[in-house]
Amino acid sequence: MLPHTTHMVLFQDLTDPAVLLSLGDEIATHAENTRHAGPWKSGVFHLFARTGILAAFIPKDCGGTGASERVLIELFLAIARRCLTSALALSQWAAAVRIIDTSHDPSRTTLLADLASGRIRATVGISQISTSRRHLSAPALLATQHETQWSLTGLCPWVTGGDSSDLLITAAVTNSGETKFFCVPLQTRGLCIEPPMKLLALSGSRTSAVHFDRVDPGEPIDQKSSSTVRTGGLATSALALGAACGSVDLIEKEAAARPSLRLVVDEFQSECRSVRDELFDSITRDIEPMQRNRLRLRANNLVVRVGQAFLTATKGTGFIEGHPAADRVCESLFFLVWSCPPSVSAAAMCELAGLDPDSEFSSDVL
């Protein structure tokens, strides 16, 4: 069962490039604070609500503006370009919204309206059924039913903003192997949120493990249609591309004093445009998973190379902790591990090892 509340939200036109540019500038002013404290404490999530960014992900009949996928991808690109921590937090909120939107529950409309306004904050924890700990013999998070009551026991290993959200959308596996989705208030008895992890980068995402000890999650989300968890989607590629474009912007600033870098900037900008074209073409054509994974690999490769190029351009200064180049390099490595389908991870390993992608090495070894 979903919680019931009400709230209003004002809408803005997010299709205007000038609006996106202005929003990016405002997000950038909070970026340093966000990198350490997170977008919930820095005020960025309030900005998302106030400007209608959250509403863009919500259907019109539920208090949102129901923006097209193209507009949503543009938002992810613009935000990741200025602050990857903020973009990551938004992507996890959006994933939670997407699952809630599949619900038959009568309170769906009201809850989505509250999410659009920012009155309620949600996050998602489903990696245990998509990319993390799937190799274990027993489910990481088990759902058991006793008559009409459900109980969750186990672990969500990766939850962004767990200590900064009100609701956790999670997924558990039953004894029969069926996957069930639940909307669990984070103050529920038996639920324990670990302190945020100290990550190589993006610690401001306040990512934690969440433990369940016979937690009563209420009824499963009664979905309108069968839903499968998709990893490596277009949003992840958009965040990688946005982060890459942000690093190119910083190299371009270096080029103002060092014209020799201009050729490097031009080449990276050309590649960014090419990946962007492929990304938006993918929206139009509704590409197959294999093509989507190739796009993800291409975006991953780009963001890692651009980060290293920025570090190289800044020389020793960029190797000092806290320098933008050091931050960008560490953040780029996140894409090697975040929501990566086995085929993307395997292809990346082949590339790093100089192996032919069609060699005997396969996703099975990962």
The answer to whether the beta carbons of residues 112 and 62 sit under 8 Å apart is yes
C-beta atoms surrounding 80 within 10 Å: 29
Dmax over CA atoms of the chain, in Å, equals: 72
Residue 153, SS3 per DSSP = strand
- The correct CATH number of 17-121 out of 3.40.50.970, 3.40.50.880, 3.60.15.10, 1.10.540.10 is 1.10.540.10
Tokens of 74: 């543009």
Q: How far is residue 237's CA from residue 283's CA, in Å, rounded to a whole number?
A: 12
Average pLDDT, the chain: 90
Enter the CATH code of domain 234-365.
Answer: 1.20.140.10
C-beta atoms surrounding 1 within 10 Å: 14
Tokens of 43: 């005020």
- The band of 361, judged by pLDDT with boundaries at 50, 70 and 90, is low
Structure confidence by residue, pLDDT tens digits, 115-147: 999 999 999 999 988 765 554 567 899 999 998
Rg (CA), the chain: 21
Q: How far is residue 119's CA from residue 97's CA, in Å, rounded to a whole number?
A: 14
Look at residue 286 in the predicted model and tell me its pLDDT: 76
In the chain, beta strands by DSSP E: 122-125, 141-146, 149-159, 167-174, 179-185, 191-193, 208-215
Fold equal for 17-121 and 124-215: no
C-alpha distances (whole Å) from 259 to each of 225, 244, 246, 252 are 56, 21, 19, 9
C-alpha distances (whole Å) from 323 to each of 26, 243, 246, 314 are 21, 16, 14, 9
Chain mean position to CA 306: 20
Structure confidence by residue, pLDDT tens digits, 279-319: 999 998 878 888 899 999 999 999 999 999 999 999 999 99
Domain residue spans of the chain: 17-121, 124-215, 234-365
Look at residue 138 in the predicted model and tell me its pLDDT: 78
Using DSSP bridges, classify how beta strands 179-185 and 208-215 pair: parallel, antiparallel or unpaired.
unpaired
Q: How far is residue 154's CA from residue 156's CA, in Å, rounded to a whole number?
A: 7
Using DSSP bridges, classify how beta strands 141-146 and 167-174 pair: parallel, antiparallel or unpaired.
parallel
Look at residue 131 in the predicted model and tell me its pLDDT: 61
Using DSSP bridges, classify how beta strands 141-146 and 122-125 pair: parallel, antiparallel or unpaired.
unpaired
Using DSSP bridges, classify how beta strands 167-174 and 179-185 pair: parallel, antiparallel or unpaired.
antiparallel
- The correct CATH number of 124-215 out of 3.30.565.10, 2.60.120.10, 3.40.190.290, 2.40.110.10 is 2.40.110.10
Least confident of 81-85, 233-237, 323-327, 339-343: 339-343
**DSSP-assigned letter for residue 253:** H
